[in-house]
Amino acid sequence: MRRPFARRAVKRFMPGEELADALAAAEALAPAHIGSIVTRLGETLTGESQGDAVRDHYLAAFDDIRARGLPTVVSIKPTQLGLDHSADSCRDHLEVLARKAVETGSQLWIDMEDSSYVDRTLALYRHVKSRYEPVGIAIQAYLRRTPQDIESLMDLNPMIRLVKGAYAEPPHVAFPSKRDVDLAFVSLGGRLLEAAQRGVGRPILGTHDMSIVRQIVGRAAALKLPRDRFEIHMLYGIRSADQRSLAADGHAVRCLISYGAQWFPWYMRRLAERPANIWFVMRSTFMR
Ligand code: FDA
């Protein structure tokens, strides 16, 4: 981050390293009726005291969000809260954060990491969601197991953010072809909308794939599901014009804003998702 060209390139996807930078970006999005989600980068922390520090950081973040009156919620990764170290203390941290989300009128979101964490993450979600209402979970459409996982969550009235999935997984675990992942996303998204129409759960589409967004929006209209009963979540700096026009059209849109010093692995994932981004980095390197 000390090198000007790196700062310019990373800034496209991340407003800055501090929570205050993320909240300033959230404030700038709010007049366009775009809500936000903040998350601090950094996975797989080890050591109980680090988990405690992350929990305390997010507790303070909830207070900051409320003090500034922002339409902002918080997303965390279980490994940041020490899941690799102790499932029990990770669960305790999640409970504390979920209680804080209730107290501050916000929400707590749990990200999904690679497939080795899915069972443990679902167990954490079941535990916390059965005690606190405003808790959501990311579910990955590329996993072959996902249809059954979604069914198994329905009795919790879940908030599910459906995403395609960002980790390299073997073919017996996840669909290797993009076409199959896209088909799975549309089918699962449709299933979530149908459940919402029956009054069960709140579906969230976490994708920048506008062809999929259009299909799902069309399905919601066919089901006569009001626009405020489902949401579209995208990442900061990606498809920003579409985020604005969806919000202007009356859709519930949230933008996930990352911050923190540990941006390198996350930034590499963003570049890998779209090779054209490499050209953007090259331009940032050579142009002022
Ligand atoms: P796809 O990759 O097919 O992209 C569709 C189009 O969007 C592209 O053609 C391009 O125009 C644009 N686009 C996509 N990525 C871009 C990029 N990096 N730069 C520029 N343009 C881009 N994953 C996970 O495993 N666990 C999780 O918890 C989460 N959480 C999460 C939250 C939210 C709010 C979002 C939006 C995404 C996630 N993800 C995630 C990541 C997700 O799994 C997936 O890797 C990315 O969203 C990219 O897939 P798309 O659905 O956007 O489609």
Neighbours of 68 (CB within 10 A): 14
Residue 100 maps to a domain: yes
- 66 — pLDDT class (breaks 50, 70, 90): very high
DSSP secondary structure string, 91-146?
HHHHHHHHHHHHHTT--EEE---SGGGHHHHHHHHHHHHTT-SSEEEEEETTBTTH
d(CA 77, CA 71): 21
The domain spanning residue 113 has which CATH number?
Answer: 3.20.20.220
Partners of 38 in beta bridges: 74, 257
64 catalytically annotated: no
Residue 91 maps to a domain: yes
Whole domain around residue 209: which residue ranges? 18-262
Single-letter amino acid, residue 26: A
Predicted confidence at residue 8, as pLDDT, reads 72
Q: How remote is the CA of residue 182 from the centroid of ligand 1, in Å?
A: 12
- 173 — pLDDT class (breaks 50, 70, 90): very high
Predicted confidence at residue 288, as pLDDT, reads 47
Total tally of structural domains belonging to the chain: 1
Instruction: Write down the catalytic residue from 40, 91, 161, 239.
Output: 161
Q: How remote is the CA of residue 267 from the centroid of ligand 1, in Å?
A: 12
Residues framing ligand 1 (Cβ under 6 A): 111-112, 138, 140, 163-167, 206-209, 233-235, 238-239, 256, 270, 273-274, 277
Q: How remote is the CA of residue 188 from the centroid of ligand 1, in Å?
A: 16
Q: Atom 8 (ligand 1): residue with closest C-alpha?
A: 209
Instruction: Write down the catalytic residue from 40, 55, 91, 111.
Output: 111
DSSP state of 44: -
161 catalytically annotated: yes
Residue 251 maps to a domain: yes
Alpha-helical (H) ranges within the chain are 4-11, 19-29, 48-68, 87-103, 118-129, 146-153, 178-197, 210-222, 240-248, 264-273, 276-286
Q: Are 284 and 8 in contact (CB under 8 A)?
A: yes
- Statement: residue 160 has pLDDT above 80: yes
Residue 68 maps to a domain: yes
CA atoms within 13 A on the CB side of 262: 8
Pairing between strand 159-163 and 72-76? Answer: unpaired
This prediction has a pTM of 0.93
Number of the ligand 1 atom closest to the C-alpha atom of 204: 34
Residue 81 maps to a domain: yes
Instruction: State CA 117 to chain mean position distance.
Output: 16
Residue 285 maps to a domain: no
Partners of 254 in beta bridges: 35, 233
Residue 282 maps to a domain: no
pLDDT (average), residues 4-11: 72
Residue 283 maps to a domain: no
Q: pLDDT tens across 108-152, in order?
A: 999 999 999 999 999 999 999 999 999 999 999 999 999 999 999
Neighbours of 107 (CB within 10 A): 22
